[in-house]
Structure 1
Amino acid sequence: MGHHDRLRSNDRNLQKEEVKMDRRHFLTKASLGLGAAALGSLLGAESIFGKSKSSGGILGDGTPQLPHFMPKAKRVVYLFQSGGPSQFETFDYKPKLTDMFGQDLPTSVRGEQRLTAMSASQSSLPIAPSIYKFDQYGESRAWVSELMPHTAKMVDDMCFIKSMYTEQINHDPAITFFQTGHQLPGRPSIGSWLSYGLGSDNKNLPNFIVLVSKNSGGQPLYSRLWGNGFLPTEHQGVQFRSGKDPVLFLNNPENYDGDDRAEMLDYLKDLNEVQNTAYGDPEVNARISQYEMAYRMQTSVPEVTDMSDEPDEVFKMYGEEAREPGTYAANCLMARRLLEKDVKFIQLYHKGWDQHVHLPSGIKNQCQNTDQATAALLKDLKQRGLLEDTLVIWGGEFGRTVYSQGKLTANNYGRDHHPRCFTMWMAGAGVKPGFTYGETDDFSYNIVKDPVHVHDFHATLMHLTGVDHEKLTFKHQGRRFRLTDVHGKVIKDILT
């Protein structure tokens, strides 16, 4: 019996079984059908059957088409600095602390804020001024530490937010909160939400790609940080690794060629379509989509990951480490190549910013590893005309304390986690260049002006991509979820 005869026979058998369908199966199929109709209403037919370049239209039922309004950012690259970079040694200059070396943090400043178990065990909380010098740069006169000389040259393209805050005081829940909008695992990540809502501008590469620096140490990272949660699996982040196989299981198995793989995928698609007809499970279509994407990526991934066509001056700009796959510098350069291909969301993770002890030497090494490549990415995007519609984000999951954790000396100290105020920056599409928003007290311990919560950050990010954060939802277990939960407001003062 031939392949298609077998499929027809299977189909007839399934049709016989459907005659016997019980009430539970009927309700399951009916609900899935209604769910698909609702999804079509939310996303618009063009988002399901083909990406449209138009935006802002209204569908027949009055539902705004995604994007909800004209986006400023067509692409996003998020340079996540895992571990919690110290604002004292980077961007939040506090000169008055110099004369307070070793003094105990005033109770009036700390208030009722909780401490980690590490700080709570200390008998005192001695103030530790930064040992590094600051200066003002650019027309915006932004303060930047001497540890970041390359970033300092780009401040007139950057929008600093110095009043970020979160409730999460430990790494795992804090990072999970930043990446998914909730401190507990299981929610979709930012990139997954944008992939689900906005679709793709390049059918040969994933909407959402993840790059993780190798050998950077520090707190562990988990794949659930770029997971799809309860969204269809086709929206999970795809990690590009260093080495000869950037994407796992993408290459043909031994003794297979491209024609063999294509024929196998055709047969697999036929079988999946029979399964989809029988049960109507949306995950079947998601798997079909993933297999087809993997086949297209066999050509597109080697092309984009082969940096042999980059001239020497580009490697000089990013730093010589950019020649070594998997380094932060190489990943920044890879991010630029992916942005050129219109990948919607790129998440770059760099660990190692968790300096509880020996902070001066530790953060110096971190800045040396990241400063040049970060600035080069901004400069490269700008000179290629991509920065105007690409949003670049830099920041970690929380800040550091003004007091030293452990022993304080003139040239050595550590800093504990501090969620109540810290600094991030954004640059590019739709944000004010050469601008600083928010202000902290003299101890960078409390916010005194324009607080920005993580939910506000998410709402603003989505707004820049043309999405109303309150309208992009997904029904799961009887409730409609969104990235910002039931919170968040767009920070309009930082927008152009």
Structure 2
Amino acid sequence: MNPFFNRRQFLKTTSNGFGYLAFAALAQQQALRASSALAAKSPHFAPRAKHVIFLCMQGAPSHVDLLDYKPKLMADDGKSAPSIAGRYGQAKLMRSPWKFSQYGKSGLWVSELLPHLAKQADDLCLIHSMSTDLPAHPQAVTQMHTGTTQFVRPSLGSWALYGLGTQNENLPGFITINPPGNATRSYGSAFLPAIYQGTKIGGAGVPGGGALARRFGRGGDQASMANIQNNRFSTEAQRTQLDLVQALNQSRMQQDGGVSAEVEGVIESYELAFRMQAEVPKVLDLSKESSATKALYGIGNETTDTFGKQCLMARKLVEAGVRFIEITHGNWDHHFNLRTALERNCSEIDQPISGLLQDLKQRGLLKDTLVIWGGEFGRTPYSQGEDGRDHNNKGFTLWMAGGGVKGGMTYGRTDDYGYEAVENKMHIHDWHATVLHLLGLDHEKLTYRYAGRDFRLTDVYGTVAKEIMA
């Protein structure tokens, strides 16, 4: 029985006849909790990773300026771009304004824009051959998260939670930090039960500081989640009220034949919301972290403070057992003002991400946590105007670290200018299949029956890149 449930108090809140009927329905409901939709589930095979932290750089970072070093692009700066796939036309090639150097024992090439991340080179797997279907932000963002460009489908985080369940029944299994206001598809569960959708913290697409920093609480050390506190009723009164509502939900489900994904999702979400009131404030409180830890993430520095707090929050959520965490950092769409804007973006995320990797590693968490960094596509090697790059979906870079991935390696290759993937091409479907595989899930077996057919994240595609696995 739920420790907050009081039979006598519950019966007092109902009429005599209905009270006993409701109590019987409630007993059935609590018996079903043992087989909760969020209960931890056995993976298809031994997992390499138990958690995912996805650092989503929305707007599409320029791979040729950050992680995909192209000497020929440097040498041919200003020349007419050769016609590749009929796209280059008369555009002029534009070299990266920033210097690249090799780092770590692995000698990975990293731009001077990412000096802190460069020190973690031997933990990074740089995937240089990413590709997606369309060079348009809404469609590409949707495909990166759901596998499709146009239909409403469950997100990657929802599929992971559906396949594995959670390790902490008092917290959501999937949390998204600072999602853009129009990003519901990116963390939605679509036709999966509602309990598998992401829980939002922050938002409004603010990349750092300002309103978002204020939203993250008193002095910035206490993050907030909407409606996490009830100022009208005590915990006991809320439990009594919820028990009545849940009894009605159970009664409705029995009327519908005993099985209803929609009603089950409501029941689970109500129970989780109740339990979260005690757990969430403790997990999101950063005030007890040491000064050294905060400095590692760049907390206290105006440039890195907000994203640093979000990355530290992600580490705390992993420690607490949350399965999938996504952090969004926006405004990477550099059609102009590349030199100033890209440098600013990198300065906001470089130290916090490096700190996250170091912190996870020193706590023994990196081996079980898959950290992913990337955007929906890349940028062109030719210029757009005097100081910008256009969209490029044919070849771009994404990196992964920890969670059973080989560190200090590159996988795949783009052509000499960084325009198109030409070796070990990894489509979004392949990437999804690989992430699920690292979590111990077979992407072909992870299915959900809806509208008369079995759906999966990768549709009928997807090849696992086993070469990158430790």
Alpha-carbon distance in structure 1 between the residues aligned to 2:302 and 2:312:
9
Q: What is the letter of the counterpart of residue 165 of structure 1?
A: S
* Cα contact 1:100–1:127 (8 A) shared by 2: yes
Greater C-alpha Rg: 1
- Residues 342-392 of structure 1 deviation map (CA, whole Å, 9 limit, x = unaligned): 110001111011000011111000000000001110000000000011100
CA RMSD of aligned residues (A): 2.3
Which of residues 228, 246, 265 is equivalent to 1:250? 228
What does residue 299 of structure 1 align with? 278
- Residues 114-172 of structure 1 deviation map (CA, whole Å, 9 limit, x = unaligned): x8xxxxxxx83111101100100000000000000000000101111001011111000
**1:164 aligned counterpart, secondary structure:** strand
Give the superposition deviation at 1:291: 1.0
Q: Does 1:102 align with 2:91?
A: no
What does residue 452 of structure 2 align with? 478
* Cα contact 2:36–2:268 (8 A) shared by 1: no
Alpha-carbon distance in structure 2 between the residues aligned to 1:49 and 1:98:
51
Give the superposition deviation at 1:100: 2.0
**1:85 aligned counterpart, secondary structure:** coil
What does residue 4 of structure 2 align with? none
Which of residues 219, 243, 248 is equivalent to 1:271? 248
Give the superposition deviation at 1:221: 4.1
Which of residues 152, 156, 161 is equivalent to 1:195? 161
The verdict on how the C-alpha distance between 1:323 and 1:199 changes in structure 2, with shifts beyond 3 A counting, is: farther
Q: Does 1:319 align with 2:298?
A: yes
Alpha-carbon distance in structure 2 between the residues aligned to 1:352 and 1:328:
14
- Residues 172-209 of structure 1 deviation map (CA, whole Å, 9 limit, x = unaligned): 00000000011114100011111111111111101100
Q: Does 1:51 align with 2:40?
A: yes
What does residue 29 of structure 2 align with? none
**1:401 aligned counterpart, secondary structure:** strand
Give the superposition deviation at 1:322: 7.4
Alpha-carbon distance in structure 2 between the residues aligned to 1:92 and 1:255:
55
Q: Does 1:152 align with 2:118?
A: yes
The verdict on how the C-alpha distance between 1:417 and 1:50 changes in structure 2, with shifts beyond 3 A counting, is: closer
What does residue 5 of structure 1 align with? 16
What does residue 204 of structure 1 align with? 170
**1:264 aligned counterpart, secondary structure:** helix
Give the superposition deviation at 1:461: 0.2
Q: What is the letter of the counterpart of residue 242 of structure 2?
A: L
What does residue 176 of structure 1 align with? 142
Give the superposition deviation at 1:240: 1.6
* Cα contact 1:68–1:467 (8 A) shared by 2: yes
Alpha-carbon distance in structure 1 between the residues aligned to 2:53 and 2:174:
10
What does residue 260 of structure 1 align with? 237
Identity among equivalent positions (%) equals 44
**1:349 aligned counterpart, secondary structure:** strand
Alpha-carbon distance in structure 1 between the residues aligned to 2:122 and 2:450:
43
Which of residues 184, 193, 208 is equivalent to 1:223? 184
Which of residues 406, 416, 419 is equivalent to 1:432? 406
The verdict on how the C-alpha distance between 1:341 and 1:270 changes in structure 2, with shifts beyond 3 A counting, is: same
The verdict on how the C-alpha distance between 1:104 and 1:81 changes in structure 2, with shifts beyond 3 A counting, is: same
The verdict on how the C-alpha distance between 1:360 and 1:50 changes in structure 2, with shifts beyond 3 A counting, is: closer
The verdict on how the C-alpha distance between 1:427 and 1:100 changes in structure 2, with shifts beyond 3 A counting, is: same
What does residue 54 of structure 2 align with? 78
Pairing 1:19-418 to 2, within 5 Å after superposition: 50-51=39-40, 66-107=42-83, 110-113=84-87, 124-212=90-178, 221-241=182-202, 242-244=215-217, 246-252=224-230, 254-279=231-256, 280=258, 281-321=260-300, 327-406=306-385, 408=386, 413-418=387-392
Runs of 4 or more, structure 1, over 6 Å off, are 8-11, 322-326
The verdict on how the C-alpha distance between 1:2 and 1:452 changes in structure 2, with shifts beyond 3 A counting, is: closer
How many residue pairs match? The answer is 431
Give the superposition deviation at 1:439: 1.1
**1:309 aligned counterpart, secondary structure:** coil
The verdict on how the C-alpha distance between 1:71 and 1:141 changes in structure 2, with shifts beyond 3 A counting, is: same
**2:65 aligned counterpart, secondary structure:** coil
The verdict on how the C-alpha distance between 1:284 and 1:325 changes in structure 2, with shifts beyond 3 A counting, is: farther
Alpha-carbon distance in structure 2 between the residues aligned to 1:415 and 1:127:
10
**1:234 aligned counterpart, secondary structure:** helix
Give the superposition deviation at 1:102: 1.9
Q: What is the letter of the counterpart of residue 448 of structure 1?
A: V
The verdict on how the C-alpha distance between 1:320 and 1:249 changes in structure 2, with shifts beyond 3 A counting, is: closer
TM-score, with structure 1 as normaliser: 0.83
Alpha-carbon distance in structure 2 between the residues aligned to 1:341 and 1:203:
10
Which of residues 407, 420, 439 is equivalent to 1:446? 420
- Residues 251-284 of structure 1 deviation map (CA, whole Å, 9 limit, x = unaligned): 11x3322122111111111111111111242221
What does residue 58 of structure 1 align with? none
Alpha-carbon distance in structure 2 between the residues aligned to 1:468 and 1:482:
10
Give the superposition deviation at 1:445: 1.0
Alpha-carbon distance in structure 2 between the residues aligned to 1:428 and 1:188:
25
The verdict on how the C-alpha distance between 1:476 and 1:321 changes in structure 2, with shifts beyond 3 A counting, is: farther
Alpha-carbon distance in structure 2 between the residues aligned to 1:372 and 1:325:
7
Alpha-carbon distance in structure 1 between the residues aligned to 2:460 and 2:466:
19
* Cα contact 2:100–2:111 (8 A) shared by 1: yes
Worse overlay, 301-310 or 204-213: 204-213
Q: What is the letter of the counterpart of residue 461 of structure 2?
A: H
- Residues 203-251 of structure 1 deviation map (CA, whole Å, 9 limit, x = unaligned): 11011000017xxxxx864222100010000000001224357222221
Unaligned residue ranges in structure 2 (runs of 5+): 1-11, 26-31, 203-214, 218-222
Q: What is the letter of the counterpart of residue 16 of structure 2?
A: D
Give the superposition deviation at 1:46: 6.4
What does residue 59 of structure 1 align with? none
Give the superposition deviation at 1:421: 0.4
* Cα contact 1:325–1:331 (8 A) shared by 2: no
Which of residues 436, 442, 461 is equivalent to 1:468? 442
The verdict on how the C-alpha distance between 1:2 and 1:133 changes in structure 2, with shifts beyond 3 A counting, is: closer
The verdict on how the C-alpha distance between 1:191 and 1:361 changes in structure 2, with shifts beyond 3 A counting, is: same
- Residues 71-100 of structure 1 deviation map (CA, whole Å, 9 limit, x = unaligned): 110111000110000011100111222332
Unaligned residue ranges in structure 1 (runs of 5+): 15-39, 53-65, 116-122, 214-218
